[in-house]
A and B are shown apart, each in its own frame.
Chain A
Amino acid sequence: MDAAAFEQEALALVDRLYATAMRLTRNDADAQDLVQDTYLRAFRSAAQFEAGTNLRGWMFTILHNTFLNQRRDRGRNPVDADSEVVEQAPDDRQAAGNPEELLLRGTLDADLQAALDNLQPAYREAVWLRDVEQFSYEDIAGIVGVPIGTVMSRISRGRRALYDDLVARSSGYARRAGVGGETPARRV
Chain B
Amino acid sequence: MESCRETGPLVTRVADSEATAAERGVVDGHLRECVACRHQLHAERETRQLVHDRATALVGHAPLGLRARCVATRVQAAPRAGRRLPLLSRAAWPIALAATLVLAVAGSAFYGLVVNPSKAVAAQLTLDHLKCFSLFEEPAGLSPAEVQAVLKARHGIDLSLPAGKAAEGLTLVGGRRCLYLDGTVAHLLYKKDGLQVSLFVLPIGQQLGQTDLDVLGHSAVAFAKDGRTWVVLARAPHAQVEAIASALGADTE
A residues neighboring B (CB under 8 Å): 7, 11, 14-19, 28-29, 32-33, 35-37, 39-40, 43-44, 46, 73-75, 91, 93-94, 96, 99-100, 104-105, 107, 109, 112-113, 116, 127, 130-132, 134, 149, 152-153, 155-156, 159-160, 162-164, 166
Contact = CB atoms under 8 A, between A and B. Distances in A.
Contact of A14 (B57, B67, B74, B154): B67
A43 B73 contact: yes
A160 B36 contact: no
A131 B47 contact: yes
Contact of B8 (A16, A28, A116, A153): A153
Contacts of A17: 62
A60 to B, nearest CB: 13
B55 A156 contact: no
A172 B112 CA distance: 70
A44 B77 CA distance: 5
Contact of A96 (B35, B62, B66): B35
Given A73-B156, A159-B47, A96 B36 contact: yes
6 contacts: A18-B63, A39-B73, A109-B58, A131-B47, A163-B46, A166-B50
Interface of B: 4, 8-9, 11-13, 15-16, 35-37, 39-40, 42-44, 46-48, 50-55, 57-63, 66-67, 69-71, 73-74, 76-78, 87, 89-90, 93, 153-156
Contacts of B60: 15, 19
Given A35-B66, A112-B50, A153-B8, A75 B58 contact: no
Given A93-B4, A156-B8, A159-B47, A11 B35 contact: no
Contacts of A113: 58
A40 B44 contact: no
A37 B87 contact: yes
Q: List 5 A-B pairs, minimum CB-CB distance, nearest first.
A: A43-B77, A96-B39, A18-B62, A163-B43, A131-B51
Contacts of A166: 47, 50
Contact of A160 (B43, B54, B73): B43
Contacts of B47: 104, 127, 131, 159-160, 162-163, 166
B62 to A, nearest CB: 4
Nearest to B156: A75
A141 B197 CA distance: 49
Contacts of B89: 29, 32-33
Contacts of A112: 50-51, 54, 58
A132 B12 contact: no
Given A109-B54, A159-B15, 18 more contacts: A11-B67, A36-B87, A36-B93, A39-B70, A40-B76, A43-B78, A73-B156, A75-B153, A93-B4, A93-B40, A109-B57, A109-B58, A112-B50, A131-B47, A132-B51, A132-B59, A152-B12, A162-B47
